[in-house]
A and B are shown apart, each in its own frame.
Chain A
Amino acid sequence: MADIVLDHITKRYPDGRLAVEDASLSIADGEFVILVGPSGCGKSTTLNMIAGLEDITSGELRIGDKVVNDLAPKDRDIAMVFQSYALYPHMTVRKNMGFALALAKRPKEEIDRKVEEAARVLDLTEHLDRKPAQLSGGQRQRVAMGRAIVRSPKAFLMDEPLSNLDAKLRVQMRTEVSRLQNRLGTTMVYVTHDQTEAMTLGDRVAVLRSGRIQQIGTPTDLYSRPATIFVAGFIGSPAMNFVPATVEEGELRTPFGAIAPNDRQRRLLESWNGGAAGSRSLIVGARPEHFEDSALEQVRNRPGPRFTVTVDVLERLGSDSFAYFTLTGGRAQIADLEELAHDAGTVDLSSGVEQVVARLDASSRIREGEKAELWLDTDQLHLFDPDTGHNLDAPPTID
């Protein structure tokens, strides 16, 4: 077991493309760190550099206080689980799991003992003499994990290990991964593009965007204090709603109506010296759960703006309902949001008007296609600089 330190690491491909730029991350011994971001953000490249499968252009990588920049993968003592599992198709499960130990020339009894122990933990005992082709997707995934754990390496690296499983199995394996990491206490770096996995699994999460680390923090930190509009939009499902706003006469003018900022927000607005052109327009972010049906008993006496909208679509999930509606007043426009829309594949859908989603209590009597009055908890609003995308409240941890 060991800590892993990425010290200003940069990866530039021979064709000049920058895959990872100046990434610094310190992973403590036994910590479970997630690298998350949309496809092409450099998260897998970062993982491959830790594994030694790609060279580091500049910067220093240390595993357990030892600089490993120029060490071959086999000398780094790390185990990796691949998205494709990369099981050796010509070997049985037993051989697959024992391959690393066999290469290390360990005695046969030791290999057998370790493989059988790992198989017991992962519920693979009865499949030990089968070939990967005879296993189901979930079993293959477990073999891949087994191959990593038999070695008791310094660290586990996982490259989207669950993305090839179907949804139900993925949830099940997610808890399995979590349990395994708790049990073994080994440092783990886990790459995913799924923000749910990132939120549920990690001790800490690093959000990457186009090769740069946007923010590193605990899942709660990222959710409640996103450093940039990108992190805010990426973490959380359904995503945070963003609307344009202007500051006029000490008020926030938003499509939800005029909002009187609370003390915290007033301080932020005062210390903020405006956008690039000295304009007083900014972007306001509101999480879906900070809306509520104002007709509900518990909301009736709360302060804050109420506004009437026509609900386009209402999804009742039983535990709560999602109401989708559109607002006039333009869209919040910033590169971060366009990138997020690209990643989600909703570029064409979100043209012209801003779609807003509100998460309402299940007891709400709002009906689809009808007008409804909603309430917004303005204390929870996030304020973003429209030029840099930074949260006015949480200066980025990485600059």
Chain B
Amino acid sequence: MATIASTPGAGATGTAGAATRGRRPSGERTALLGWSAANLVIIGISLVPLLWLVSLSFKTPDSITDGKFIPRHWTFENYRGIFGESLFTRALLNSLGIALISTVLAVVLGSMAAYAIARLAFPGKGLLVGLALLIAMFPQISLVSPLFNLWRQIGIFDTWIGLIIPYLTFSLPLAIYTLSAFFREIPWDLEKAAQVDGATPLQAFLRVIAPLAAPGMVTTAILVFIFCWNDFLFAISLTSTERSRTVPAAIAFFTGASQFAQPIGSIAAAAVVITIPIIIFVLLFQRRIVAGLTSGAVKG
């Protein structure tokens, strides 16, 4: 390009142009370097605890307090240990079961509510949306003691259902907000077309609207699952035995090999194990999760 342009008359401007052209990329390169450095620092800072946890989980009990980042003697003993104990395996099962059931219920109930909110004009709609938001904002800790007493009296203390109910309470508002934002983006004409084509409202929802809202439902499901999976507060307060104790709560009950040994290695290994599904989910669906969070936030 530059050689073609450099006819005698255009020579001067050509050089000047080349000079500016040369300067700009170098400026961009500096900016790029700066941003990359900043990003690396931030990623490093946020990853250090996690990496430290991974490192701990591979250390032998006697080297745990040696302060080395990379274990001198690698061992899988911690992992073997936790999977050999029913305290952890049973808790893993509880966690999976409770989180999955809550997720399915939240998505099914949430879609119905969100569909109504997005499509229908009914009295008290504003109140319902406001109430949902209020519940989402409600401090969870303030519910713990009343629920503890109530659950014991009606006999669902330390059961799956006893955890699923509070999880639904706090995940449904999130589900409703996210899903109604997705439903709102589906053209209403499609539903009219389905009705004219002979579909009942339920058929129109199941065969036309739901498939189109599937990405929204997946997003919502992931968000709800993560919420239930990570919960510690309700899990520790509303359970007392292996019957329904989930992993975050169970970790607190780990004991060391002897009465005097700290169970740090096992705790680290358990923490790593329950983080893995979340990391996989987030990596696979990160774009959708962001879409779900922002659409819920902006359009709610």
Contact = CB atoms under 8 A, between A and B. Distances in A.
Contacts of A87: 193
A100 B212 contact: no
A242 to B, nearest CB: 38
B80 interface: no
Contacts of A100: 197-198
A79 B198 CA distance: 9
B212 A89 contact: yes
Contacts of B207: 99
B211 interface: yes
B190 A72 contact: no
B63 interface: no
A223 interface: no
Nearest to B208: A88
A52 B195 CA distance: 9
Majority-rule SS of B interface residues: helix
Interface string A56-95: 0000000000000000111000111011101111100000
B155 interface: no
A50 to B, nearest CB: 11
A114 interface: no
A317 interface: no
A92 to B, nearest CB: 13
B291 interface: no
Contacts of B275: none
Interface in B181-221: 187, 189-190, 192-200, 203, 207-208, 211-212
B203 A78 contact: no
A86 B190 contact: yes
Contacts of A86: 187, 189-190, 192-193
Given A88-B190, A88-B208, A90-B211, A103 B196 contact: no
A104 interface: yes
B197 A99 contact: yes
A388 B198 CA distance: 45
A383 interface: no
Interface string A11-54: 00000000000000000000000000000000000001001110
A88 B198 CA distance: 14
Contacts of A73: 192, 195-196
Interface in A247-279: none
A89 B209 CA distance: 10
Contacts of B196: 51-53, 73-74, 78-80, 157
Contacts of B203: 103
Contacts of B199: 74, 103
Given A51-B196, A53-B195, A103-B203, A82 B212 contact: no
A80 B200 contact: no
Interface residues of A, number: 25
A74 B198 contact: yes
B187 A74 contact: no
A145 to B, nearest CB: 13
Contacts of A52: 195-196
Contacts of B187: 84, 86
Interface string B61-83: 00000000000000000000000
Contacts of B211: 90
Contacts of A51: 192, 196
A359 interface: no
Nearest to B190: A86
A104 B190 contact: no
Nearest to B210: A90
Given A84-B189, A86-B187, A90-B212, A103 B195 contact: no
A104 B187 CA distance: 24
A74 B212 contact: no
A52 B207 CA distance: 20
Contacts of A140: none
Interface in A94-148: 99-100, 103-104, 147
B125 to A, nearest CB: 14
Contacts of B208: 88
Most buried by A among B189, B207, B208, B211: B189
B126 to A, nearest CB: 16
Most B CB atoms within 10 A — which of A74, A82, A84, A99? A74
Contacts of B212: 89-90
Contacts of A53: 192, 195-196
A53 B192 CA distance: 7
Nearest to B214: A90
A137 B238 CA distance: 58
- By CB atoms of chain B within 10 A, which of A83, A100, A104 has the most? A100
B192 A103 contact: no
A289 B197 CA distance: 46
Nearest to B189: A86
25 contacts: A51-B192, A51-B196, A52-B196, A53-B195, A73-B195, A74-B196, A74-B198, A74-B200, A79-B196, A79-B197, A80-B192, A80-B196, A82-B189, A82-B192, A83-B189, A86-B190, A86-B193, A88-B194, A88-B208, A90-B212, A99-B197, A99-B207, A103-B197, A103-B203, A157-B196
Interface of B: 187, 189-190, 192-200, 203, 207-208, 211-212
Interface of A: 48, 51-53, 72-74, 78-80, 82-84, 86-90, 99-100, 103-104, 147, 151, 157
Given A84-B189, A151-B197, 7 more contacts: A51-B192, A52-B196, A53-B196, A80-B196, A82-B193, A86-B192, A147-B197
List 7 tightest A-B contacts by C-beta distance, closest first.
A86-B189, A86-B193, A100-B197, A74-B198, A73-B195, A80-B196, A103-B198
